[in-house]
Amino acid sequence: MEANMQIGWGLIGASTIAAEHMIGAIRAQHGHEVVAVASSSAARANDYAAKHGIAGAYDAVDKLLADPAVQVVYISTTNELHRDQVIAAAASGKHVLCEKPLALNLEDARHMVRACADAGVVMATNHHLRNAATHRKIRELVQGGSIGRPLFARVFHAVYLPPHLQGWRIDKPAAGGGVILDISVHDADTLRFILGAEPVEAVGMSQSASLAREGLEDGVMAVLRFDNGLVAQLHDAFTVPFAGTGIEIHGDQGSVIGRNVMTQRPVGDVLLRDAHGERAVPVEHESLYARGVAGFCAALRGEGQPAATGLDGVRSLATALAIVEACRTGSRVRVAPLQA
């Protein structure tokens, strides 16, 4: 795509995440505009378009894909719909930024990646945490050797699901609900990003304490082993308002600690602790979503890869599915090996 061309985005899904973060992140890019939205309901499409100043409103995805003003789609429907929507978008020659989890099983996720590759369109997964200044700094420290050999990681991502999101996540297994596909999938991606290593096996125990129904879980503690030998502990929940979030990577020469960093907001602190003591490491915060979209837009211009590719979405899903299976069976589960 030409650097100075106007790029039109179509939203597939009249979603909360698009309203709260992504429309603004797209509009923050020079030359990019949200030109259409598709919902399964004509009334919701029209209301959403009016509320967010979007020119086109469609009651079906194929109508949006037929709109010549749309060159790129952002897919943020519920998770069971991502597969067919990505494949249809690729077949229409549209570039795709898709929400996580990419799909409900690995075969579908791999199919989506292949469909985009075959169509020659850019595909990305919206793993926002890679774009946080905090996580990028933690990665730099870990991969730069500041903590020696990384041995352990601890992820604290147990939060309270806000009332306006207490819908399909807690009562629709068929839509890919549950905290593991919602939150653990982000932990998996963040650890892969920071460590530059691949999860290879998982154990876990989940909980359905208060919000989740229909066999879904609203809390989990899991342990992952990575291919570099590192062992990581994850704690994810929809049910605890006051736990606070964070990530810690512990090495044989030091520890790097991110506080209040498993979040959508550009906040949080990074600390480095080693033989010289403990100090705060400065970071320059910026919008995670705007940075993610900027990386995607650069990839459209042929400048590098998106922050999280389609394949990264396959890998985070593989890990989340291994945790689901480990919790279900009470056994140690191998994470499906790396392949597109």
Residues near ligand NDP (CB under 6 A) are 13-17, 39-41, 44, 76-79, 99-100, 126, 128, 165, 167, 182, 264
- Minimum CB distance to ligand NDP, residue 289 (Å): 7
**Closer to ligand NDP by Cβ: residue 126 or 190:** 126
Tell me the C-alpha distance between 58 and 69, whole Å.
Answer: 13
Nearer to ligand NDP, 100 or 225 (CB): 100
CB of 59 to ligand NDP, least distance (A): 9
Report the alpha-carbon distance of residue 178 to residue 117 in Å, rounded.
Answer: 30
Per-residue tokens: 48: 């959403």
d(CA 81, CA 230): 35
Minimum distance from CB of 189 to ligand NDP (Å)? 10
Q: Which is nearer to ligand NDP, 99 or 187 (CB)?
A: 99
Shortest Cβ distance from residue 80 to ligand NDP (Å)? 9
**How near is the Cβ of 39 to ligand NDP at its closest, in Å?**
3
CA atoms 339, 321, 85, 17: torsion sign? negative
| Phi and psi at residue 246, to the nearest 5° | 180, 175
CA quadruple 168, 173, 177, 179: dihedral positive or negative? positive
Judged by beta carbon, residue 47 or residue 201, the one nearer ligand NDP is 47
Closest approach, Cβ 252 to ligand NDP, in A, equals 33
| Residue nearer to ligand NDP on the CB measure, 32 or 169 | 169
How many angstroms separate the Cα of 270 from the Cα of each of 9, 132, 187, 237, 266?
Answer: 35, 11, 17, 23, 13
Taking the C-alpha atoms of residue 339 and residue 317, their distance in angstroms, rounded to an integer, is 12
CA-nearest of 219, 226, 245 to 327 is 219
Q: Between residues 141 and 299, which has the closer beta carbon with respect to ligand NDP?
A: 299
